[in-house]
A and B are shown apart, each in its own frame.
Chain A
């Protein structure tokens, strides 16, 4: 069976959930080979994790020569792996970094690229090449597409598939990538990891509670409901631009894209840029004082009311039910 390369999304060796989603999708296309680019010492532990989701092989690319630079060296490493393994496809997480790696790789290997897929299937009527599904124009259209030239490179959004376990051999194969000097021209001079909030990561969370202009800068009710529901906290651009909450919380076209099981919007009107970042959420709930807010066009359930009273009361009731 042909290999399918899956780039592992991880932070310091800690494998992130979207990786398991990619492996689950990869199994539809061929035999998943995971690619770990990071500290070599962390490779074995990562391999054990991804083997549980069907990775037969795990290429460990020690990043001693890659760390400290932006995406160009990673794209070079992937190029060399593609040349070695002639995969049926390359699946990459649809983060900003993932998309940049994919963009450079596409030019390097002369292959078509599809970004922000929300589903990947093998073309059953044809030759089994991947057919992707994307949600475009702020979710108003669903598009299916195919790569027609080269090795399909596909970036997949988090929460696009339910990770399914499947035993893979997880055989570690160390791969020494050659990184050119030219790929090392953009250096990471300083890096400050985002403070851990104790809450689930925004893009991976099953439940997201977000606040907008209507919070008036008070995010406690948003955080309270998020904690009661075990969800992540997000924000609209208006709240970020007002300086109430850091940019890393922003949901929307210029922030993060989320696609949780449940999205609760408080005091968010629902501008098109915000919709682009949350419209694929499975269930959408909004609380807003303005009964004409466009967000109400999207909701499964809406409350016309003040989030400052509705959220805390709802959080209390949720906590009561949980006992």
Chain B
């Protein structure tokens, strides 16, 4: 799961051209809530749910523990927060490295569930990178998920076709917002979350060299960030007795679209 700046707020960049994560409230990426929801549903549908453990994992600065707490409140069994100052400014490549090491440390993971994209960077590549690093099958962009033992089948809307994908666990999955609304934490869930185990890992706990992560070693470099100049106000007319359609068509003709 990713802790992201609230997309409805006015997001900006810092001097070092990383995303300003202080000026804007952070929260659990909305698209990752769907992943938490699906993990919880798989647990609930399992033959013996008590044997299924849902672990919420995030790599985030200190405040990012809120994202883990939210998942615990929704019903996850335990949480892991990887926090280390050296991670700041990491790109997807380094983030996927830290996540992969954390998953290896947790060990014996059958299913790595991810959102389809973050709501800030929106790259949509971390699930694929995780699958590559962990040498696991990747089943991405699931909209309907079915499991039977260690067999997984998902339905998804691919770029050009609707597909059914089959794979055997362990695997990495990403889910879309088509999987169904994520639940809200109940009061009971919020109270219960306070007692759930929440571990914090640092890079040394994971055996990751601090020199392999962070802004200074990112494999990409932002050259420049420019705020878009405010759009010059467009012309807005109010439709009266068909005048709206005429004005619209005149506008389209003036721009040579007709």
Flag if A97 contacts B158 (CB, 8 Å): yes
Q: Which of B125, B158, B160 is the one whose CB lies under 8 Å from A115?
A: B125
* Nearest Cβ on chain A to B174's Cβ, whole angstroms: 9
Closest A residue to B176 by beta carbon equals A254
Closest A residue to B248 by beta carbon equals A314
A191 on the B face (CB < 8 A)? yes
Q: Which of B133, B159, B238, B251 is the one whose CB lies under 8 Å from A107?
A: B133
Q: Which of B127-184 contact A (CB under 8 A)?
A: 127-129, 131-133, 135-141, 143, 153, 157-168, 171, 176-178
Flag if B245 contacts A314 (CB, 8 Å): yes
Interchain CA distance A103-B174 in the complex, whole Å: 14
A299 on the B face (CB < 8 A)? yes
Interchain CA distance A302-B7 in the complex, whole Å: 25
Flag if A149 contacts B129 (CB, 8 Å): no
A297 on the B face (CB < 8 A)? yes
B231 on the A face (CB < 8 A)? yes
Q: Which of A154-209 contact B (CB under 8 A)?
A: 182, 185-194, 207
B110 on the A face (CB < 8 A)? no
Q: Which of A95, A106, A305 is the one whose CB lies under 8 Å from B159?
A: A95
* Nearest Cβ on chain B to A88's Cβ, whole angstroms: 16
Could you mark each residue 96-139 of chain A with 1 if its beta carbon is under 8 Å from any beta carbon of chain B, else 0? 11011111101110011111100000000000000100001111
Q: Which of A288-308 contact B (CB under 8 A)?
A: 291, 296-306
Number of interface residues of B (CB under 8 A): 83
Flag if B251 contacts A285 (CB, 8 Å): yes
Q: Which of B125, B136, B248 is the one whose CB lies under 8 Å from A301?
A: B248
B31 on the A face (CB < 8 A)? yes
Flag if B165 contacts A186 (CB, 8 Å): yes
* Nearest Cβ on chain A to B230's Cβ, whole angstroms: 9
Residues of B within 8 A of A300 (CB): 234-235, 251
Interchain CA distance A144-B119 in the complex, whole Å: 20
Known contacts A262-B255, A304-B236; is A106 also within 8 Å of B138 by CB?
A: no
Q: How big is chain A's contact interface, by range?
A: 35 or more
Flag if A70 contacts B124 (CB, 8 Å): no
Interchain CA distance A285-B252 in the complex, whole Å: 9
Flag if A99 contacts B218 (CB, 8 Å): no
Q: Which of A139, A189, A313 is the one whose CB lies under 8 Å from B164?
A: A189
Residues of B within 8 A of A253 (CB): 31, 117, 119, 122
Known contacts A112-B91, A192-B161; is A103 also within 8 Å of B129 by CB?
A: yes
Flag if B162 contacts A192 (CB, 8 Å): yes
Flag if A189 contacts B132 (CB, 8 Å): no
Closest A residue to B7 by beta carbon equals A272
Closest A residue to B124 by beta carbon equals A99
Q: Chain A CB within 10 Å — which of B133, B237, B248 has the most?
A: B248
Flag if A313 contacts B242 (CB, 8 Å): yes
Interchain CA distance A136-B239 in the complex, whole Å: 34
Flag if A142 contacts B228 (CB, 8 Å): yes
Interchain CA distance A298-B28 in the complex, whole Å: 28
Known contacts A229-B257, A262-B252, A304-B238; is A144 also within 8 Å of B220 by CB?
A: no
Interchain CA distance A262-B248 in the complex, whole Å: 13
A78 on the B face (CB < 8 A)? no
B111 on the A face (CB < 8 A)? no
Interchain CA distance A11-B17 in the complex, whole Å: 39
B93 on the A face (CB < 8 A)? yes
Q: Which of A103, A272, A304 is the one whose CB lies under 8 Å from B126?
A: A103
Residues of A within 8 A of B168 (CB): 185
Residues of B within 8 A of A114 (CB): 220
Flag if A108 contacts B132 (CB, 8 Å): yes
* Nearest Cβ on chain A to B120's Cβ, whole angstroms: 8
Flag if B119 contacts A182 (CB, 8 Å): no
Known contacts A104-B131, A283-B255; is A303 also within 8 Å of B248 by CB?
A: yes
A-B CB contact pairs (8 Å), 12 listed: A72-B131, A103-B92, A107-B132, A112-B218, A115-B124, A149-B219, A186-B139, A262-B255, A272-B7, A284-B234, A311-B245, A314-B245
7 closest A-B pairs by beta carbon, nearest first, are A305-B239, A112-B219, A103-B125, A313-B245, A185-B137, A103-B128, A149-B219
Known: A113-B125, A140-B227, A317-B249. 7 other contacts (CB 8 A): A70-B138, A75-B132, A103-B125, A150-B219, A261-B257, A300-B251, A318-B252
